[in-house]
Amino acid sequence: MKTNLPLDADRLWTDVMALADITDPAKPYTRRSFTALFLEGRAWLAQRFAEAGLATRLDAAGNLIGRIEGNDPALGVIAIGSHSDTVPSGGRFDGIAGVATGLEIVRALRDSGTRLDHTIEIVDFLAEEPSEYGLSCVGSRGMTGSLDETMLALTEPSGETLRDALRRVGGDPDRLDRARRDDIRAFLELHIEQGIVLESRFLDVGVVTSIVGIRRLEIVFQGEADHAGTTPMNLRHDALVAAADTVIAVRRLAEQLAAEGPDYFVATVGILAVDPSASNIVPGRCRLVIDARTTNPALTARFVDAIDRDSAAHAAAARVARASFKTLSDGPPVACDPKLREALQQGARDLGLGQMDLPSGAGHDAAFMSRICPSAMVFVPCLKGKSHAPEEWADRDAIAAGAAVIYQAVKELDRSLPRSR
């Protein structure tokens, strides 16, 4: 691991740990998007941005953006960012390390007396994790013109719409056109790998080749709540039985598609809500959400068709209705930009860091940013590949090394990006 990096590893680490401390104390580490805790984290970040000399604003899509003008504003923006929201009982590094990296790079440029020709922006994207409204990457969808009325009408369990929630956290759902950008020339994101490859190969950084496509489906089974003690088995309309059979079908089909190769395929049922959820009531209603990911959209189509067919059959067998079968979100797989990847690879070489190319099985804001500008990512190792859990861990020096690679690439891109549009 290198020590003479062109930025301050301790300052970067201090930011990551300070943001991590803004969590639900009963469920470390939880800072769910749109909550008071999230807004507390946002306020902390905005303060750090201002102290670093960044002009700070919220855009209409609810993204927190810090900006330092370049020597030649006509050249456009080089952006660095990630997200500060977490999954429930998540980790301290997923997203946060990427936002803190942007902040540290701005400070390191200032400390070295370097003013770029391009304007630089640091972005904390709103709600990268799947929110209570059922949608992920809300802010990066908004910045790229991918946040539509159907999505804004999604609601969380108590009924608030995403539209109202966006307004509540400072966005403007009626003026999302103002969030759309055409002046960003490059977007870079640091993220923990959330996998075991870099650690197992004792490598310092991963330069991401592609980001997996993600489809999220919601299925609701509607049966009849009944007395668990007096309702004969042949008269039941048990919604959970249809849901349970569907969960098994998801697992079996995903294992089959993954085994076919060569494409990557995984599917998960991470949400299973039983209603009324009491030990002595036959479940009347069951809602499940499926998260399916692949590098090959043709496999998604096969998976969805099969689960559509199977879940209807399981509903009929359990004598319940399949009340809804809908797509909550559907993002295609994305290739990272070759020129930006080369700048990152060169940065790692210049710093004497061990590196490899590798794909991302996790979704990221960079996948949406690639719709409006060249985008690329650097992964840093995390302990045992663990993520989306409190045990998530990344070493101080590992994060600093990844940040230094982006720092090097930003300076290179400032020189080499096309100057005419």
- Residues lying near ligand HGY in the complex (CB under 6 A) are found at 94, 128-129, 136, 362-363
Q: How far is the CB of 361 from ligand HGY (least distance, A)?
A: 7
Choice between 129 and 132, CB closer to ligand HGY:
129
Distance CA 256, CA 250 (A): 10
Choice between 329 and 345, CB closer to ligand HGY:
329
Find where tokens 């794909």 sit: 359
Choice between 70 and 95, CB closer to Mn ion:
95
Choice between 95 and 284, CB closer to Mn ion:
95
Q: Give the 3-state secondary structure of residue 337.
A: coil
Choice between 128 and 204, CB closer to ligand HGY:
128
Contact between 382 and 393 under an 8 Å Cβ cutoff? The reply is yes
Q: How far is the CB of 373 from ligand HGY (least distance, A)?
A: 20
Choice between 214 and 240, CB closer to ligand HGY:
214
Q: How far is the CB of 316 from Mn ion (least distance, A)?
A: 36
Choice between 250 and 318, CB closer to ligand HGY:
250
Distance CA 331, CA 138 (A): 13
Which of ligand HGY, Mn ion, none sits in contact with 104, Cβ below 5 to 8 A by type? Answer: none
Q: How far is the CB of 192 from Mn ion (least distance, A)?
A: 8
- Measured from each CB, the residue nearest to ligand HGY is 362
Contact between 29 and 90 under an 8 Å Cβ cutoff? The reply is yes
Which of ligand HGY, Mn ion, none sits in contact with 359, Cβ below 5 to 8 A by type? Answer: none
Point out which residues bind Mn ion (CB under 5 A): 94-95
Which of Mn ion, ligand HGY, none sits in contact with 223, Cβ below 5 to 8 A by type? Answer: none
Q: How far is the CB of 137 from Mn ion (least distance, A)?
A: 10
- What tokens were used for 287? 């809602």
**Cα maximum dimension of the chain:** 78
Q: How far is the CB of 368 from ligand HGY (least distance, A)?
A: 12
Residue 245 pairs with which residues in a beta bridge? none
Which of ligand HGY, Mn ion, none sits in contact with 195, Cβ below 5 to 8 A by type? Answer: none
How many CB atoms lie under 10 A from the CB of residue 350? 14
Which of ligand HGY, Mn ion, none sits in contact with 142, Cβ below 5 to 8 A by type? Answer: none
User: E strands of 212-283, at which residues?
Assistant: 213-222, 226-227, 265-275, 281-282
- What tokens were used for 333? 């797989």
Nearest to 396 by CA among 92, 80, 45: 92
Find where tokens 């020339």 sit: 185
Which of Mn ion, ligand HGY, none sits in contact with 363, Cβ below 5 to 8 A by type? Answer: ligand HGY
Q: How far is the CB of 290 from ligand HGY (least distance, A)?
A: 13
User: Rounded to whole angstroms, what are the CA distances from 117 to 53, 77, 167, 193?
Assistant: 17, 9, 34, 31
- What tokens were used for 224? 């009849």
Which of ligand HGY, Mn ion, none sits in contact with 189, Cβ below 5 to 8 A by type? Answer: none
Distance CA 332, CA 214 (A): 7
Q: Which amino acid is at 199?
A: E
